[in-house]
Amino acid sequence: MSSEIFAVVREVQLPLLAVLLLLGAVTKMSGRAADTGGLAVLVSERLRRPSAVATGLLEAALGVGLLVSNGLPGEAARALTAIVFAVSVVVLFLVRRRDPEAGCGCFGGLSRAPVGRRTLTRAGLLSAAALTTLGLEPAGWQVLASPTPSHAWVLGAELLILALLSPELRDMVTRSTHKEPCELREVPLNHTMRVLQRSEVWRTNEPVMIKPEPTDVWRKGCWRLLRYDGIRHGRRVDVVYAVRIGGRRDTAVRAVVVDRASGAVLASYGAVSQAELIGPPRKLPRPSVAARLHERRQDPDRAAQSLRAARGLSILGEPAERAPRGHDHGDPDERRPAPTG
């Protein structure tokens, strides 16, 4: 059983290594970002591009060899693949020593993360994987043509290990799922203008502005500020907008109208108070529950006493002429609310 699983593991390496090599070849030979890491760090400027292309061509040849060849040419491709990955471990060590910030360049411009232990482990494991394929009968395409559930399981497990060892994947996921903080985000001016011109603050101030283009634009961290010329009640004013980068459309824009001569602020729009607002209670009790609670808290004697005290004060404090205005109330104590319940 274990020998069968080992045979499956060996077979799976062929298409897996071939795909990785072909992917590496394509990324190395496409774009200028390819020659920024890995071997390029160790060679002179003149040789960077040729070395990247040569490595890519070698990887492409090995990838094709692993897929289509068996017999002696196949064995040669497998042995050469193992040697290439083993050499790459040494190269990566040297790259890390030479420039700790350089990427491995394994997948061209995608491999920008500095060379770390995971990258080195990955190269070492791939070299070992290539060694296990020595002596296999089928070529890579034959493995692909007759897959079994065991192949799928082994391939899945290996892909998982590779994903854990690949900074490129983490980098891609991070870049696609996380936005940079608004302070650091580069935003084109026309995007800011769109947000501004859709805002209510803009519509309110539109009649004041005399030019459609801002006279000055500047940035302050999360905010882009725009200054417009304007006239308000015959006086020259500056209408200054602050548009928050990545803010909600309805709250992203603030504005002030400033008198140009005196510098006085004539109007302010869109600023949100920093004071803590008192919110409603989280949940109001049902009326029957509220009534029961009220009754429980009710103390008739105390209520009557406080009422008496209040009326006494009221009668003492009331001016004499206002006293007859009241209707004939009789004894105040007669108006004591009947105890409920």
Partner 1 sequence: MSETAERRDRRRLTSVVLGPGSVPDPTPLGARVTRGVVVSANTRMLCMAVPEGEERFLYDHDTTFWRGGEVGPGDLRPGDDAVVLRMAGGHPVAERVWAQAARATGVIVARDGDTLEVDPGHGRPRLTVVIPYRNSGRITVRHPRLEPGYVFDAVGVWREGAVWATRPATTQPPYPLRATPHRPPTHRYGGTLNGIATWYDPAWGRSTHLDPRAHLDAVAYPALDIVGHDPACDRRTPCAPLPLLSVGATLSLRNDCTKDSAVFPVVACAAADSWLCDLCPACGGQGAGRIASLTMTGFVALGGRLEDGCFNATVTVHDGEG
| Binding residues for partner 1 (CB under 8 A) | 32, 35-37, 40-41, 45, 48, 98-99, 101-103, 112-113, 171, 174-175, 178, 180-181, 183-186, 188-189, 216-225, 227, 238, 240-242, 254-256, 258, 263, 265, 274
CB of 125: closest distance to partner 1 in angstroms? 24
Smallest gap from Cβ 326 to partner 1, in A, equals 54
What is the biggest distance separating any 2 CA atoms in the chain, rounded to whole angstroms?
Answer: 124
In whole angstroms, the minimum distance from the beta carbon of 180 to partner 1 comes to 6
Instruction: Give the residues across from 267 on adjacent strands.
Output: 257
In the bound state with partner 1, the residue whose beta carbon lies nearer, of 263 and 279, is 263
Considering the complex, state which of residue 206 and residue 216 has its C-beta at the smaller distance from partner 1: 216
Residue 32 or residue 236: which is nearer to partner 1 going by CB? 32
Minimal distance, residue 215 CB to partner 1, in Å: 9
Report in angstroms how near the CB of residue 128 gets to partner 1 at its nearest: 29
For the bound state, the minimum distance from the C-beta of residue 98 to partner 1, rounded and expressed in Å, comes to 6
Rounded CA separation 74/130 (Å): 12
Cα–Cα distance for residue pair 129/106, rounded to 1 Å: 17
Nearest to 210 by CA among 187, 193, 232, 195: 232
How far apart are alpha carbons 250 and 247 in whole angstroms? 8
- Token pair of 267, please? 């109007």
Q: How far is the CB of 233 from partner 1 (least distance, A)?
A: 19
Which tokens go with 169? 């994947």
Q: Which is nearer to partner 1, 220 or 248 (CB)?
A: 220
Q: Which residue has the tokens 């296999």?
A: 136
Q: How many CB atoms lie within 10 A of CB 259?
A: 15
Cα–Cα distance for residue pair 56/78, rounded to 1 Å: 17
Q: Which residues contact 303 (CB under 8 A, 6 or more apart)?
A: 337
For residues 41 and 77, which CB has a smaller minimum distance to partner 1 in the complex?
41
Helix segments in 178-246, DSSP class H: 189-197, 200-205
Contacts of 192 (CB under 8 A, 6+ apart): 224, 226, 243, 245
Residue closer to partner 1, measured from CB, 79 or 225: 225
Beta bridge partners of 218: 225
Cα–Cα distance measured from residue 130 to residue 86, given in angstroms and rounded to the nearest whole number: 10
Task: Report the nearest approach of partner 1 to the CB of residue 266 (Å).
Answer: 11
Do residues 230 and 257 lie in contact, with contact meaning Cβ atoms separated by under 8 Å?
yes
Closer residue to partner 1 in complex, CB, 65/109: 109
